C-alpha cells in the first residue's frame, strides 16, 4: 500500500488567494485552477473578467504540472521541434490536455508533489508570475 | 485469408519485466504498455511512482509503434516543421493519439511486427532505453 | 493536507491474478484493469482471447467504481429511466467514460477506497464474478 | 505467440458485393464497412445515395460485431434498461463507438471470428438483411 500526501481544500483556497492577489496587482483577471497530486480538480476560480477558454487551459496546466511534477514552461522549452531530444509533439497528447504553455506549476511539500496550480488569461509570463505568487503565499501560510 | 502472428500475454509479461528492470536500474519508475500488432492494449504496468498522464502516453506510443512499424522517435525526427518532407503535423492525427515522442518501439519476430512497447515517465532518452531493454529481454527469453 | 492510501503495484498484481484465476475457471478470457483510488490506471491484462473493445470498458469500469466508491452494477440498477430518482443519464457522462455496466468494484481497506477493479469480455454477471474473485484473493493475500 | 486468422482484401470485396446486391434489390443505397478481427477498417463503400452519417455508424457496427463476436442487434436486445442483467449503458461506451443498433455481424470461418461487417442507411431490419446477405455471399464464394 502506498501513502500519498494531497492538498486539502483549505490549502487550495490559500493558493488561489495568493494567485488572485498578484492578478489584481498586475490588473489581469485570471482563471485559477488547483488540482490534487493526481491532476484532478479540487478548486477553481474565474476572477470577474477572466477569459472563458482559459477555464479549460488553467485546469490543463494544473493537471500537467501535478502529473509531470514540473512547470509547464519547462515542457515548452524542451519540446522545440528539431532539437534532437525527441520530445516535440508531447503537446498534442491526451487530446491536447497535456498543456505546455507557461503558467502551470507543481506544488511541493518536503520534496513531494501534493498538487498543481494552473493560471490562464494573461501572457505566459503573467500566468507564471501568478502561479508562483500562489505558491509563495501557500509556502508562507501553510508550511 | 491472412495469417497474423501476435504477442501473447506471457510474452507481454516478459517485455514488461525487461523494461521495468531497466527502469529500476536508472531510478525512474515508468508506465509500460504493450499492445498487439494492431495497436490494441494487452498489458500495462504503472510502476509505483510512475506519472499519471504517462499511462495514456505509454499506450499511445505502443499503439503508434506497432501500427507504423517503426520507433516513435523516427517520426519525431522526420516531422520537424519545414524539413520539406511534408510529414510535419502527423502528431495531431487521431486526436493526438498518434504519438511521436521517443519511447515507442515495434516488436518484431522474424522480420514481422507482432506488437508494440511504449514507455513514459522519464525523458525520451530514458523511455527509449527502457523500451529497448524490454525488447532485448524478450529476444533473449522468447526467441 | 490529506493523507491518502493507494494500491501499490504488487497489490494490483494480486488482484489481477485472482480475477484471472476465476476467468480461467469459467472459461472466459477477460480484460482486467486496476486503477488507483483516483481512477488512474496502474495495471492491465488482456488475457489471450479477451475482447479488443473490452480493454477500454474494463478501464472505465475500474475508474467509475474507484471514483464513485460503489459497484458499477449499483449505478445500473439505480439509473433505469423513469424510476423517479433522477439518475438516468449518468451513463453518458464524461463522454461515456462513466460506465454503469456490471463488472466494476471498488477496492476497500479498513473502510477506505484504495483503488478499483474493472472486468470486461463476458456477461455482466461473469464480469462481476471475476471482479469479486480478484477482491477476495486480494483480501486473503494482502490484508 | 498467437496465430490469428484475418479477412483479406479480396474477401472483403466479396462481402461488400453481396451486401450491395441485396441493397440494390431492396432499393436502399447503403454504407457498407468491413473490419478485420480486431475491428480495424479494411474496406468501405458508400453506395451512391448512401447517408453521410451512416459512414461512421457502419464502421462502428462492424467494429463492435468483430470485437464482441456477436451481432449488434444482440446487444440491443440485451441492454434494455431495467431488465436486471446490468448491461444497460454499454451503448455509450468508447464515446458511443460501441454500437448496439442492428446491422453489424461478425464474420466467422471454422468457428473463429475473422472480421466484421456493418451496414447503415436503412432501417435496422434492412441493414441486418444486407449484412446477412454479405455473409452468405462470402460463405458461398470463399469457404
Share of chain D above pLDDT 90, in %: 92
C-alpha cell at A14: 490559500
Q: How far is C60 from chain B (nearest CA, A)?
A: 13
- Say if the Cβ atoms of B4 and D8 lie within 8 Å: no
How far, in Å, CA of D115 to CA of D118, rounded? Answer: 10
Sort out which chain A residues have CB atoms less than 8 A from B99's CB and list them. Answer: 89, 93
pLDDT digits (tens, 9 = 90+) for D16-67: 999 999 999 999 999 999 999 999 999 999 999 999 999 999 999 999 999 9
pLDDT for res A83: 82
Instruction: Give the whole-angstrom CA distance, residue B91 versus residue B128.
Output: 18
Which DSSP symbol is given to C71?
A: -
How sure is the predictor about C96, in pLDDT bands with cuts at 50, 70 and 90? very high
Q: Are B89 and B79 in contact (CB under 8 A)?
A: yes
- Cα–Cα distance list, D140 to D15, D18, D105 (Å): 11, 10, 17
Q: Is the CB of D89 less than 8 angstroms away from the CB of C73?
A: no
Closest CA to B123 of B40, B7, B26: B26
Scanning B105-124 for CB atoms below 8 A from D yields 109, 114
Q: What mean pLDDT is reported for chain D?
A: 96
Which of C52, A71, C50 has its CA nearest to residue D37? C52
Grid coordinates 520539406 are at which residue? Answer: B84
Contact by Cβ (8 Å): C41, B50 = no
pLDDT-wise least confident of A63-72, B13-22, C74-83, D10-19? C74-83
CB-based contact, D125 to chain C, within 8 Å: no
* Rounded CA separation D140/C85 (Å): 53
Instruction: Identify the pLDDT of residue A113.
Output: 98
Nearest residue, CB atoms, A92 vs list B51, B96, B123: B96
Is the model more confident about D81 or about B47?
B47
Higher pLDDT, D81 or C51: C51
Contact criterion met (CB below 8 Å) for B91 and B75: yes
Residue A38 grid coordinates: 493526481
Residue of B nearest to A82 (CA): B80
B76 close contact with A: CB closer than 8 A: yes
Residue A142: predicted pLDDT: 87
The end-to-end CA distance of chain D, in Å, is 26
pLDDT computed for residue B140 by the predictor: 96
| Contact present, D135 and D107 (Cβ < 8 Å) | yes
Residue C123 phi/psi, 5° resolution?
-70, 160
Domain D14-142 fold: Beta-Lactamase (3.30.450)
Does pLDDT of B83 surpass 90? no
> What pLDDT, on the 0 to 100 scale, is given for residue B34?
98
Domain boundaries along the sequence of chain D: 14-142
**Mean pLDDT in residue range A89-115:** 96
pLDDT at D82 over 90: no
More confident residue, B58 or A81: B58
Is there a contact between B104 and B131 (Cβ–Cβ < 8 Å)?
yes
CATH number of A9-142: 3.30.450.150
Whole-angstrom distance, CA of residue B131 vs CA of residue B23: 10
Can you give the pLDDT at residue C130? 98
Reported ipTM exceeds the 0.90 cut: yes
Contacts of C66 in chain A (CB under 8 A): none
Nearest one of D1, D6, D3 to D108, comparing CA atoms = D6
Task: Identify all chain B residues contacting C44, using CB atoms and an 8 Å cutoff.
Answer: 41, 43-45
Host H or E run for residue A43: strand A41-46
Partners of residue C32 on adjacent β-strands: C45, C119
Non-local CB neighbours of B139 within 8 Å, separated by 6+ positions: none
Mean pLDDT on D62-82: 94
Closest by CA to B99, choosing from B59, B47, B55, B50, is B59
Alpha-carbon distance values, D101 to A40, D9, D64, D78, D87 (Å): 35, 26, 10, 12, 15
The shortest CB-CB distance from B9 to any of C8, C41, C45 is to C45
Query: Which among C40, C42, C46 has the least Cβ separation from residue B41?
Result: C46
D68 touches chain C (CB under 8 A): yes
Q: Which of D79, D86, D95, D111 to mutate to test the interface with C (most CBs of C within 10 A)?
A: D86
**CA torsion A47→A52→A54→A55, rounded to 10°?**
70
Mean pLDDT score of chain C: 96
Confidence band (pLDDT; 50, 70, 90) for C73? very high
**Chains C and B: 3 or more CB pairs within 8 Å of each other:** yes
Determine the length of chain B: 143
Residue of D nearest to C56 (CA): D94
pLDDT of residue A99: 97
Is there a contact between C45 and B42 if contact means CB atoms under 8 Å apart? yes
Residue of chain C whose alpha carbon sits nearest to that of B7? C48
D45: left (phi over 0), alpha (psi -120 to 50) or beta: beta
- Which runs of E-coded beta strand occur in chain C? 2-6, 31-36, 41-46, 104-109, 112-120
> Which three three-digit cell numbers place residue B26?
536508472
- In whole angstroms, how far apart are CA D89 and each of B52, C93, C102, C122, D53? 27, 11, 10, 15, 22
Q: Which residues contact B56 (CB under 8 A, 6 or more apart)?
A: A93, A94
Cβ of residue B58 closer than 8 Å to a chain C Cβ:
no
The pLDDT of residue B91 is: 93
Give dist(CA C25, CA C22) in Å, integer.
5
Burial label for D91, CB within 10 Å (0-12, 13-18, 19+), is buried
pTM of the model: 0.97
Is A60 an 8 Å CB contact of chain C? Answer: no
- Decide: D118 and D104 in contact? Cβ < 8 Å: yes
Residues in CB range of C129: below 8 A, 6 or more apart: C22, C26
C37 contact B CB<8A: no
Rounded to whole angstroms, the Cα distance separating B7 from B29 reads 24
pLDDT in tens, A120-143: 999 999 999 999 999 999 999 988
Q: Which of B80-89, B92-101, C124-133 has the lowest mean pLDDT?
A: B80-89
pLDDT of the residue at D111:
95
Provide the pLDDT for residue C35. Answer: 98
What residues contact D140, with CB distance under 8 A and at least 6 apart? none
Chain A's closest residue to B83, CA to CA, is A82
Which triple of cell numbers denotes residue B27? Answer: 531510478
Collapse the DSSP code of D18 into the 3-class scheme (helix H, G, I; strand E, B; otherwise coil) and give the result: helix
Give me the total of CB pairs closer than 8 Å, taking one residue from chain C and one from chain D.
74
Strand order in C104-109's β-sheet? B104-109, B112-120, B31-36, B41-46, C41-46, C31-36, C112-120, C104-109
pLDDT tens digits for B112-128?
999 999 999 999 999 99
Provide the mean pLDDT of chain B: 96
pLDDT at D85: 86
Which residues of chain B have a CB within 8 Å of the CB of C40?
46, 52, 55
The whole-angstrom separation of Cα B89 and Cα B107 is 25
Q: Check CB contact of A39 with chain B, cutoff 8 Å.
A: yes
- Nearest CA among A66, A113, A64, A67 for reference residue A91: A64
Residues of B in contact with D97 (CB under 8 A): none
Alpha-carbon distance C63 to C113, whole Å? Answer: 12
Contacts of D among chains (3+ CB pairs under 8 A): B, C
Confidence band, pLDDT 50/70/90 cuts, at residue D8: very high
How many angstroms away from the CA of B40 is the closest CA of chain C? 7
In this structure, are residues D6 and D94 in contact, taking their beta carbons and an 8 Å threshold? Answer: no
**Residue A143: helix, strand or coil by DSSP?**
coil
pLDDT at A26 over 90: yes
Instruction: Inform me whether the pLDDT recorded for D143 exceeds 90.
Output: no
Distances (CA, A) of B43 to A124, B14, B33, D79: 39, 11, 6, 29
Q: Shortest CB distance from D87 goes to which of C54, C56, C124? A: C124
Amino acid at each position: 500500500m502506498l501513502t500519498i500526501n494531497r492538498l486539502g481544500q483549505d490549502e487550495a483556497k490559500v493558493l488561489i488567494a495568493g494567485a488572485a492577489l498578484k492578478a489584481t496587482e498586475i490588473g489581469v483577471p485570471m482563471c485559477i485552477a488547483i488540482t490534487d497530486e493526481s491532476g484532478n480538480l479540487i478548486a477553481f476560480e474565474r476572477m470577474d473578467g477572466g477569459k472563458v477558454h482559459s477555464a479549460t487551459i488553467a485546469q490543463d496546466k494544473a493537471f500537467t504540472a501535478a502529473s509531470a511534477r514540473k512547470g509547464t514552461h519547462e515542457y515548452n522549452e524542451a519540446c522545440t521541434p528539431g532539437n534532437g531530444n525527441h520530445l516535440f509533439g508531447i503537446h498534442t497528447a491526451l487530446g491536447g490536455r497535456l498543456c505546455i504553455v507557461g503558467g502551470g506549476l507543481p506544488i511541493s511539500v518536503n520534496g513531494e508533489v501534493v498538487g498543481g496550480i494552473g493560471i490562464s488569461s494573461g501572457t505566459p509570463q503573467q500566468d507564471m508570475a501568478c502561479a508562483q505568487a500562489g505558491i509563495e503565499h501557500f509556502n508562507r501560510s501553510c508550511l
